[in-house]
């Protein structure tokens, strides 16, 4: 698939393009170190503290276009959400220890539909990590956008990672091609 993450500016962590489609703005007002992370079907960033390199959070986009198990939210209606939510919980529970599941919400906007799912899971280091996944068709392609952050540091972490998620959706919407 080639380069999944492309820097759009020369300095700082500011502006990036994922999969050649999704514009991402990384907040510059954090003291964290940001690392690019990409592998087949995934492109994103992870933030760690300087010095100790403690995980603070991550943002990434998963290409869902060719995953037959990923729901196409454009086909969902409100009465489908409970069944899809149960399916997602079952599948995600196979991959991680979920401690708190918040029901998926179908958001219907003028540009289309998005399914938001939030949950807290224990990571391999025993930390509680809040995950917020948004499934949507963006620029004609199905994606799962995921912001994750350390619950212990939520006062410092939730804002920047939700800001990144919002920046992608806002940028795609302003292009008129969400």
Q: What is the CATH number of domain 5-174?
A: 3.40.1000.10
Question: Which pLDDT belongs to residue 122?
Answer: 96
Say how far residue 71 (Cα) sits from the centre of its chain. Answer: 16
Question: Which pLDDT belongs to residue 162?
Answer: 86
The first and second tokens of residue 99, run together, are 């401690």
Mean pLDDT by 10-residue block, N- to C-terminus, for the chain (178 residues)?
Answer: 67 76 79 73 84 82 89 92 96 96 90 91 94 92 92 87 84 61
Question: Which pLDDT belongs to residue 77?
Answer: 93
Question: Which pLDDT belongs to residue 97?
Answer: 97
Question: Which pLDDT belongs to residue 173?
Answer: 72
Question: Which pLDDT belongs to residue 178?
Answer: 45
Say how far residue 95 (Cα) sits from the centre of its chain. Answer: 17
Question: Which pLDDT belongs to residue 2?
Answer: 56
Q: What angle do CA 32, 124, 71 make, to 5 degrees?
A: 90
Q: What's this model's pTM, rounded to 2 decimal places? A: 0.86
């Amino acid at each position: 698939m080639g380069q999944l993450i492309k820097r759009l500016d020369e300095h700082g962590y500011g502006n990036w393009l994922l999969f050649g489609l999704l514009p991402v703005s990384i907040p510059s007002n954090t003291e964290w170190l940001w690392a690019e992370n990409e592998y087949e079907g995934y492109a994103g960033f992870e933030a760690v503290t300087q010095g100790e390199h403690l995980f603070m959070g991550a943002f990434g986009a998963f290409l869902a276009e060719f995953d037959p198990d990923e729901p196409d939210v454009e086909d969902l209606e409100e009465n489908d959400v409970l069944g899809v939510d149960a399916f997602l919980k079952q599948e995600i529970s196979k991959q991680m220890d979920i401690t708190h599941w918040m029901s998926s919400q179908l958001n219907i906007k003028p540009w289309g539909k998005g399914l938001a799912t939030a949950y807290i899971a224990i990571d391999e280091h025993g930390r509680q990590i809040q995950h917020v996944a948004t499934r949507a068709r963006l620029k004609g392609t199905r994606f799962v956008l995921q912001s994750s952050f350390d619950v212990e540091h939520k006062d410092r972490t939730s804002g920047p990672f939700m800001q990144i998620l919002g920046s992608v959706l806002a940028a795609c919407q302003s292009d008129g091609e969400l």
